[in-house]
Amino acid sequence: MENLQEILSSIDMSQHTMDHITIACMDGRFFGPVVHYLLDRGLIGHTDVFFAAGSQQNFLSDEFKAFALKQIELSRKLHDMKTVTLVAHWDCGAYGGNKALGGGDEERAKYADDLEAAKQVIAAKFPDLEFELVLAKPEGNKVDFQKIA
């Protein structure tokens, strides 16, 4: 993997297209791992980013749905975005964390169900978009990114 500083300095600032939008939780524990996930996939400089507590949960909330969908709309309109990557993570405080969800199969199922539900909300408004649903799970000092769909 190239040096992050080299990659960042090589971004063409006159480019006004982004193929992706990455939507992830604002939890700072996962910021670095999400950046590395994007680096590994060659998406730095090719993805808009939207960090918000609970990421996918925003599309399922009456309070935040319009704002979250507006981010998708703007990414499409301004940057010709075609793919949405939704990233959920274990122990998400917006859900009450492991204490509320148990940390096992039930927690995984809740995040997977909500990722799929968020995808359906977005797809209902923007049916031509492609999706990648990802669950980030801490494994010691590393984070494993598991594709849900």
Task: Quote the number of domains for the chain.
Answer: 1
What is the arithmetic mean of pLDDT over 17-41? 92
The amino acid at 7:
I
Confirm whether 11 is domain-assigned: no
Confirm whether 12 is domain-assigned: no
* Mean of all residue pLDDT scores within the chain: 90
CB 90 within 8 A of CB 100: no
CATH number, domain at 39? 3.40.1050.10
Q: How far apart are CA 85 and CA 76, in angstroms?
A: 14
> DSSP H helical segments within the chain, as ranges?
4-9, 31-40, 65-79, 97-101, 105-125
Domain of residue 82: give its range.
Answer: 17-147
Confirm whether 5 is domain-assigned: no
Q: How far apart are CA 11 and CA 84, in angstroms?
A: 21
What is the arithmetic mean of pLDDT over 115-130? 98
- In 3D space, the residue among 80, 58, 78 whose CA is nearest the CA of residue 67 turns out to be 58
Give me the pLDDT at residue 13, please. 65
pTM for the whole thing? 0.89
Confirm whether 53 is domain-assigned: yes
Confirm whether 21 is domain-assigned: yes
